[in-house]
Chains A and B, each alone.
Chain A
Amino acid sequence: MQRQGFIDRLKAIVGDDYVIAHPEDLLVYEYDGSVDRAMPRAVVLPASAGEVSRTLALAYQEGVPVVGRGSGTGLSGGALAPPGGIQIAFTRMNRILEVDTENRTATIEPGVINLDLDNHVRKFGMRYAPDPSSQKACSLGGNIAENAGGPHCLAYGATTNHVLALEVALEDGTMVNLGGPAREVPGYDLRGVFVGSEGTFGIATQITVRLLPLPETVKTFLGIFPDIESACSAVSAVIGHGIVPAALEMIDALSIRAVQQVTDAGYPEDAGAVLLIELEGLWEEVDEVSREVESALWETGAGEVRVAEEDRERERLWLGRKTAFGAFGAIAPNYYLVDGVVPRTRLSQVLRKVSEVSEKYGIIIANVFHAGDGNLHPCMLFDGREPGVTERAMAGAAELMEYCVAVGGTLSGEHGIGLEKKQFMPLVFTDADLAVMRRTRDAFAPANRLNPGKIFPDDDGFYQIVPQPTPPPGDTGMYV
């Protein structure tokens, strides 16, 4: 009776068609890109900030926890609702509201897809730099919550370096604007600390981001190496040379073979690793740095170096990188992705550890990752139907995370802590460190009604672990 009443009141806010409450209809909202599952009580699809605010106010009164949901591509369980909780999904709030070409900013609703924004502003000679590999599907609201990164964040920084202003609904429905149109805003940097707060501080209802002008010249290099060790020393050589490329990505042997099975990316079957390096800037800059990159690749043992300047050719060099995730489907039906970051000089050491873990737990692990900033993505591939294998994969992942921390790195470079990594937080942070983070959350959400149960290790877990299926082979919709 009371339950029905709540749903009806939600419908009164957004309209009958925009509250999903039937169990079958809720199935797609039960998961995101992670291994966790949880069924929301209802999903609300608001059309405006006002509706978001009223939904929150109602849920607050009723003591119902609320979780924002963008596209559900998150890899740490961030968008999953706690028992009895509702999701606010932003599928309908997906308008690009304004592009200011002179100040180089865009103002958008949170449901706008990352790539749609980038494509749109390219018409004006600009770009939105943070480009998560999931950019064809993920939303800006999700990007803000996770502080998403991507291949080109090496040179341009992650989402947080590009957010100017946020309109936010707090847990009780109060609206507040954080930041503003100016790059510098006095006072505590509320918009800065909001980015990466994983939906626990507030719900972003409008976002203003900074845009960058398109570079004059873009040049892409593909270095083919006999083994992963030499590819790692190439990464160190490039960075050590004082070069910070726009992107610096690595693909290991296993991934190369998987890619070649579903598409011809032009990789030699016997390659041990491939490095993809992109330079951007003035023609003179790119030209000068190109030579240094090329010689660094040769000096560290590349067997072949391919170069492309023209768009079509460059896309061809990226093809393998972008197909790898889709190709994993041919190897195993399920995956689990680790997101550790380490100092760049530790890459080869950590990749050796990845091989050891693969042996030890009997799990295939493929590596396709953002090498330039030391952000690994060991992708554990397995068949979840096999008894005990999911647990083994998780144990292997735990060992890898521990190792990343031990060599001076940390748990997550871009996917967030969410549910999935919260029990590992004590590897990095003391109780006192976590207490300060809680104090910060309590300033935004004193009642802890937004996305409760995430990030902090001692908050209850109430989620079921179900392995995530790998995408159909050949899928290039998203890559990792």
Chain B
Amino acid sequence: MTEPIAQQLADLLGRDTVLMPDGAGGAANTPELEKYAVDGLAPQVVVQPTDRESIARLMQWAAARQVAVLPRGGGVLSALGNRPAQVDVALDLSRYNRVLDYQPADLTVTVEPGVTLQTLSRELARGGKFVPLESPLSHRATLGGILAANASGPLRHAYGLARDWLIGISVVGADGVETKAGGKVVKNVTGYDLNKLYTGSLGTLGVIVEASFKLAPLMDEWAALAAPFPSMDAAIAAGRSLIAQVYAPQGLQVVNRPAARRLNLTADSAAGAYVLALFAGRPRAVGRRREESARLLGQSGATAVESLDGAAGQALLRQVTDLGWSDDTIPALGMRVNLPPTAVGQLVAAIVGESAGESGAELGLVADLGFGVAHLLRWPETFDQAAAGNEEPAGDAVIAGSLSEIERMQALARSMGGTVVVEHCAPAVKARIDVWGGAATEAELEIMRRIKQNFDPLGLLNPGRFMGRL
């Protein structure tokens, strides 16, 4: 069964474009294909196009045969979403990766989807510009992937999300037809704003083949503060009062002790939590923000205020963004909770309050107080510890622990007007849950279903992975 598909695609797109199983038999198990597995399901073939005509031809071919296509960029965020309903072709876009049109004077850039954030940022810096997007593992994460997964980082408080910077998009649809929306100008109401629809749609509506962004001037200066606090409550209170000031930082995170340990924050070994403040901008303004913020944190009960300049500040920013995604920090369970900003404090209080004797003590927590998002992470050994007292084997402890944690978090978030997305969990857990767990109402889901139906009637693009198993 495998050979024909790979062979057909090699004939259609050329041998260089198709990752052929080496040797005839047992092709589906070759290690190369395994690298592209999603939730343990390896594709039958991997296609690595370098032009959009090949993408269009692939999609036409797939539509005619009802073959499922899973687009991907650097594979950084490919664990997001529910277990796919069908996995046939992995469409690896990382080789379709040129910067097509960079206009520093117009503050715009147009790229192919496979360019990595790091490569793009370097190129933009040469012209003095900056795209305020963030993603875990920016050396691997592609712009197409960042858009599809709606990745973000601590600067989201000041700069918003990918949706706020994307100005134009071209997509090859499930029918193999390329279409566009938006354009290359920074302000545009010509036609519906489909940029918004594609952003965060996890590749379920089309394959992004080109994207245009507006840009910001490159930041002259970066800096950060890391301030340990005796308790999470004290850190949250200080963080909230800081974010309300005129001199507020561009990004503000509160991390609890288990997360701080993973971030190698060591200023105070007794600290219950840290406030991390990130600054970017003009030198004098960064200077004042940092000074006044440091003073306020000191007055609010920080046991120390460590000041990081330029490179160290940016390194910390990267570490926070990568937490949970870099090899040594991948959790057994990872959840993103989206909340109104003030509810983040409430959520944390609820978790901390309950956790005294329970698993919560080992729950890593990174909370963005300005924007309103909290990442909750449990690393494998914490489940094992929790399970040490009982007879269950470790794997079952992870499953049972994850399921109850997810349920608890969904209920908490819901009561606060928020939503939970499970970003990491064991395959056995994923098999039992909807990772988007009730984040939309039935009326919204109905519109989403119709969108999916109208865009991809055969359900061939990333089938089953999105909200409502679309």
Contact = CB atoms under 8 A, between A and B. Distances in A.
A240 B177 CA distance: 37
Contact of B197 (A104, A192, A411, A430): A192
- How many chain B residues sit at the interface, stated as a range, is 35 or more
Contacts of B339: 182
Contacts of B150: 184
Contact of B191 (A239, A244, A443, A455): A455
B308 interface: no
A403 to B, nearest CB: 14
Contact of A440 (B194, B244, B247, B440): B194
Contacts, number: 252
Given A411-B190, A436-B173, A185 B103 contact: no
Interface in B417-438: 417-419, 421, 436
Interface string A409-443: 11111111100010001001110111111011111
Nearest to B175: A432
B380 interface: no
A188 B105 contact: no
A412 B180 contact: no
Given A374-B187, A436-B181, A455-B191, A186 B246 contact: no
B194 A413 contact: no
B191 A288 contact: no
A121 B164 CA distance: 23
Interface in A162-221: 174-178, 180-190, 192-193, 195-197, 213, 215-216
A282 B246 contact: yes
Contact of A417 (B189, B196, B244): B189
B93 to A, nearest CB: 20
Interface string B140-164: 0000000000101000100011011
Given A186-B419, A345-B106, A455-B191, A439 B455 contact: yes
Contacts of A105: 340
A409 B199 contact: no
A55 B187 CA distance: 35
Given A410-B183, A432-B179, A444 B447 contact: yes
Nearest to A104: B341
Contact of B103 (A343, A430, A444): A343
A192 B196 contact: yes
B95 to A, nearest CB: 26
Interface stretch (A1-9, A152-160, A321-329, A458-466): A152-160
A240 B218 CA distance: 11
B187 A373 contact: yes
Contacts of A412: 188-190
Given A282-B289, A439-B454, A184 B187 contact: no
Given A182-B419, A187-B439, A284-B287, A409 B183 contact: yes
Interface string B235-270: 000000000101100000000000000000000000
Contact of B451 (A180, A375, A435, A443): A443
A153 B190 CA distance: 17
Interface string A362-398: 0000000010011100000000000000000000000
B332 to A, nearest CB: 21
Nearest to A147: B189
A149 B185 CA distance: 14
Interface in B72-108: 103-108
Interface string B196-222: 110111000100000000001110000
Interface stretch (B45-53, B277-285, B293-301): B277-285
B184 interface: yes
A282 B247 contact: yes
B188 A183 contact: no
B133 interface: no
B123 interface: no
Nearest to B284: A284
B338 A433 contact: no
Contacts of B188: 341, 410, 412-413
Nearest to A164: B340
A33 to B, nearest CB: 15
Interface string B98-132: 00000111111000000000000000000011000
A158 to B, nearest CB: 6
Contact of A443 (B178, B199, B447): B447
A279 to B, nearest CB: 11
Interface string B29-55: 000000000000000000000000000
Contact of B246 (A161, A187, A188, A213): A213
Contacts of B283: 288
Contacts of A157: 160, 164
23 contacts: A147-B193, A157-B160, A160-B193, A161-B164, A176-B447, A182-B338, A183-B156, A183-B161, A183-B338, A187-B468, A189-B163, A193-B196, A239-B106, A243-B217, A282-B288, A288-B285, A289-B282, A341-B185, A343-B108, A414-B189, A425-B190, A440-B192, A444-B450
Interface of B: 103-108, 128-129, 150, 152, 156, 160-161, 163-164, 171, 173, 177-181, 183-194, 196-197, 199-201, 205, 216-218, 244, 246-247, 281-285, 287-289, 338-342, 371-373, 417-419, 421, 436, 439-441, 443-445, 447-448, 450-451, 453-455, 466-468
Closest 10 CB pairs of A and B: A192-B196, A242-B217, A443-B450, A176-B443, A439-B454, A284-B284, A285-B285, A182-B338, A343-B106, A443-B451
Given A180-B419, A183-B338, A188-B205, 15 more contacts: A146-B189, A158-B187, A161-B160, A175-B443, A180-B417, A187-B436, A188-B201, A188-B451, A282-B289, A343-B185, A429-B180, A432-B178, A434-B191, A436-B171, A437-B192
